[in-house]
Amino acid sequence: MKDFLPVSKEDMEARGWYYLDYIIVTGDAYVDHPSFGAALIGRLLESRGYRVGIVAQPDWKNTMDFAALGRPRYAFLITAGNLDSMVANYTAGKHKRTEDDYSPGGKAGLRPDRACIVYANRVREAFPDVPVVLGGIEASLRRLAHYDYWDDKVRRSILIDARAPLLVYGMGEQQILEIAERLKKGEAIEELNDIRGTAFVTRDLSGEKNMLFSYKTLPSFQEMAENKLKYAEAFRIQYLNQNPYTGQALVQEHDGGYVVQNPPARPLSEKEMDELYSLPFMRAAHPKYAKQGGVPALQEVEFSITSHRGCFGGCAFCALNFHQGRLIQKRSAESILTEIRQMTKSENFKGIIHDIGGPTANFRNPACRGKRCTERLCLYPEKCNNLQVDHAEYIDLLRKARSIPGVKKVFVRSGVRFDYLMADRKRKEILKELCEHHVSGLLKVAPEHVAAGTLQAMRKPPKQVFTAFRQLFYGVNKSIGKEQYLVPYFIAGHPGTTLKDAVELAEYVRDLGYNPEQVQDFTPTPGSLATCMYYTGIDPLTGKKVYVPKSEKERRMQRALLQYRDPKNHPLVREALRRAGREDLIGYGPKALVRPAKDTAKEKAIQKRKGKGREGKKAFSGVGKRTEGKRNGHRERATGRGKGRK
């Protein structure tokens, strides 16, 4: 009989267990679903015969919760959860978040800042002799020296601050199974220095004992902290060594010792992916959270399917290259269809599959037959000649999914990479299929910006590609008699964006009749190309200087320009337009973004009388013309596992 993994001594006793082999400590609430990393690793170890328990969101102010399940036989496995704890706890403006979707009832404040470090130190207090292994997205993206936006400085490898002997980076299944097997055989944790997809600390680089792979030496932590050119150099070397078929080990000096990153783990085969997602998940939050309203993050993924991992999109603001990687790892169609059939038996299932996808929905197959490309991007600055563009298998999968008894609708919500779709010769037929059967009235796409300089820094396609896609989308919907809309996502304050670029985007939004209630502020997170640009002012892959809007005032102005219709933004919009030399957009004509300051009070009064103020109209009302969308979709924060958007 299926059950949740133990979270208490009582759960252990119910299974007849008096000890555990591994205890997973996570910053998320315990949700037994394959989109949650702790559950995925826990179920995988369980399938190999190991006894696994979960300590979810422990009170980190003492050691009681960390000791609640006793001493594990082999190790504590520590993760901050599906998000970096600083991203989970703070907004792009560095303000404390008031909600946490990965906590019961959405309550904020249940995980500490820098959770991996805090948890590791508490575990060491409780059990000084038990090994600690770090994993998850926080550990993965902070495995080497990195810029930290919240401290506004370069921080050491998380291995140093957590004083952990071993770190797993990437998705981690292969690594954790090898670690478990070798610990079971009696090897010490300090001997496990030859596992791909791991990092460790050593004082000695000499001899085969410590260095079993050929390696490149990075600029030291001290050099990176003192010299931005060195930081950019180090990032470039890391970036070019993420391919599991070509990547070398990397070595970085830290305070007299060395952090060693072994080469990336090989991608999982289709068979391995199928086995992983067929494990006996409860697909639910632990019952102990029921009184608090459950865990909000489950709602988006409970009836969604992860069809693949990896993304070859290469967006500069995304850290996926450093975590899941660029190579596509997919499940078989039959594995996915089997999961859907099981879903239909759930009493909570209403006939709706919310998504079949991954980081990008329509990246279902490998980019090309080659495996050794390191520098060339598949879609930027234009489609690579070797890119295999084919949606046939994905469309066939969607057709089979919607034909399963009990399934009423299958939506595609993880985002469609429109430039990849436009590169397909059958793009019109593909888009017609999606619009007829798999769009819920709104289709999420991410042009992100329209200014050439910004798009270049983002590694996104030119504006003309999105314009062509938009025309095709509305043309297809007209031909099938449907009124559906695009929800385009835009980022404010990205490296490479000047105020003039932000004004250009505001004019584009104006001409679309689009009124974005939510705007994504660029947040520099460890591991992304754009974060390196933000910190150094240099594009590390080209060596060219990049303009960076760093001041809080300018970031606020760029955001305000995107939301220029909001009266409270008008003073900032006017100031931004003056600074950009675009005072022609302050006035009364149809192209004006705002009126002169002296008329704002009168304007508010008129709007209130006409019932056209914010209280009297919806966020997507537009200005006297049809809008791109009639309601605003929630923009997901990247988790590194399961869903994302591109």
pLDDT at 642: 39
For residue 36, give the CATH number of its domain.
Answer: 3.40.50.2300
Separation between Cα atoms, residue 415 and residue 606, nearest integer Å = 40
Q: Answer yes or no: is 315 a known binding residue.
A: yes
Of 261, 286, 305, which residue sits at a domain end?
261
Residue 206 confidence (pLDDT): 74
Last residue of a domain, one of 244, 261, 278: 261
pLDDT tens per residue, range 248-292: 999 999 988 999 999 999 999 999 999 999 999 999 999 999 999
DSSP letter at 594 equals B
Distance CA 435, CA 443 (A): 9
Beta-carbon contacts of 353 under 8 Å, excluding residues fewer than 6 positions away, are 303, 304, 305, 340, 343, 401, 402, 407, 409, 410, 411
Q: Between vectors from CA 296 to CA 295 and to CA 299, what angle results, nearest 5°?
A: 105
Region of 581 on the Ramachandran plot (φ > 0 left; ψ -120 to 50 alpha; else beta): left
Read off the pLDDT of each residue in 338-343 and give the average, rounded to a whole number: 96
Q: Position of tokens 């979270």?
A: 7
SS3 174: helix
Query: Which comes out higher in pLDDT, residue 601 or 504?
Result: 504
Tell me what pLDDT residue 644 has. Answer: 39
Cis peptide before 287 (omega within 30 of 0): no
Read off the pLDDT of each residue in 431-436 and give the average, rounded to a whole number. 96
Helix (H, G, I), strand (E, B) or coil at 557: helix
Residue after which a domain boundary falls, among 240, 261, 282: 261
Task: Tell me the C-alpha distance between 370 and 571, whole Å.
Answer: 53
Residue bearing tokens 């097997």: 181
DSSP assigned state of 185: T
2-55 confidence digits (pLDDT tens): 799 999 999 999 999 999 999 999 999 999 999 999 999 999 999 999 999 999
Longest dimension (CA), the chain: 81
Q: Is 339 helix (H, G, I), strand (E, B) or coil?
A: helix
β-pair partners for 79: 26, 135
Q: Is residue 218 part of a domain?
A: no
Beta bridge pairs of residue 410: 353
Q: Evaluate whether residue 592 is within a structural domain.
A: yes
| Confidence category of residue 1, pLDDT binned at 50, 70, 90 | very low
pLDDT single digits (tens) 51-107: 999 999 999 999 999 999 999 999 999 999 999 999 999 999 999 999 999 999 999
Report if residue 273 sits inside a domain. Answer: no
CA dist., res. 541 & res. 528, Å (int): 12
Contact in structure between 644 and 321 (CB atoms under 8 Å): no
| Averaged pLDDT for residues 603-614 | 50
What residue numbers bound the domain in which 481 lies? 472-603
Q: What is the pLDDT of residues 136-153, one digit of tens each?
A: 999 999 999 999 999 999
Q: What is the pLDDT of residue 616?
A: 32
More confident residue, 644 or 270: 270
Residue 483: per-residue pLDDT? 95
pLDDT score of 601: 59
The pLDDT assigned to 608 comes to: 60
Residue carrying structure tokens 């949606």: 391
Within a domain: residue 288? Answer: no
Cα–Cα dist 527/228, whole Å: 16
Distance CA 646, CA 638 (A): 10
Task: Give the model's confidence band at 602: pLDDT under 50 very low, under 70 low, under 90 confident, else very high.
Answer: low
Check whether 384 is labelled as a binding-site residue. no
For the stretch 174-228, pLDDT in tens is: 999 999 999 999 999 999 999 999 999 998 887 555 567 889 999 999 999 999 9
Q: What is the mean pLDDT of the chain?
A: 91
Give the sign of the dihedral formed by CA 121, CA 153, CA 80, CA 264: negative
Tell me the C-alpha distance between 498 and 494, whole Å: 9
**First vs last C-alpha separation in the chain:** 39
Structure tokens at 316: 């500069």
The domain total for the chain is 2
Distances (CA, A) of 363 to 311, 323, 356, 417: 7, 17, 11, 8
Mean pLDDT of 583-599: 92
Give 524-554 as a 3 state SS string.
Answer: CCCCCHHHHHHHHCECCCCCCECCCCCCHHH
Instruction: Tokens 């959770």: give the residue.
Output: 115
Q: β-pairing, 442-448 with 31-32?
A: unpaired
Q: Please, are residues 200 and 260 in contact by the beta-carbon 8 Å criterion?
A: yes
Q: Is the pLDDT of residue 609 over 80?
A: no
Percent of the chain with pLDDT over 90: 82
Is 76 a member of any domain?
yes
CA distance 176 to 75: 11
Report how far residue 515's alpha carbon sits from residue 267's, in angstroms, rounded to the nearest whole number: 41
What confidence score (pLDDT) does residue 427 get?
96
Residue 459 resides in a domain? no
Strands 146-148, 132-135: parallel, antiparallel or unpaired by DSSP? unpaired
Q: Is residue 237 part of a domain?
A: no
CB within 8 A of 429, min separation 6: which ones? none
Digit-coded pLDDT (tens) for 536-545: 999 999 999 9
Q: Would the pTM of this model clear 0.85, i.e. be above it?
A: yes
Domain membership flag for residue 635: no
**Measured CA distances, 542 to 232, 328, 339, 545, 546 (Å):** 10, 26, 44, 9, 10
pLDDT at 473 over 50: yes
Report pLDDT for 413: 87
Task: Report whether 116 belongs to an annotated binding site.
Answer: no
C-alpha 51/C-alpha 14 separation (Å) is 13
C-alpha closest to that of 129 among 77, 76, 175: 76
Please give the share of the chain, as a percent, with pLDDT higher than 70.
Answer: 92
Q: Is the pLDDT of residue 623 over 80?
A: no
CA dist., res. 295 & res. 302, Å (int): 11
Q: How far is CA 561 from its chain centroid?
A: 26
What does the pLDDT look like over 354-384, one tens digit per residue? 999 999 999 998 888 777 787 778 888 888 9
What is the chain's Cα-based Rg? 25
- Poorest-confidence range of 114-118, 306-310, 371-375, 521-525? 371-375
User: Could you give the 3-state DSSP secondary structure of residue 203?
Assistant: coil
Q: pLDDT confidence of 516, banded at 50, 70, 90?
A: confident
Q: Name residues whose C-beta falls within 8 Å of residue 352's C-beta, 6 or more positions apart in sequence.
A: 303, 408, 409, 411
Q: Which residues pair with 306 in a beta bridge?
A: 357
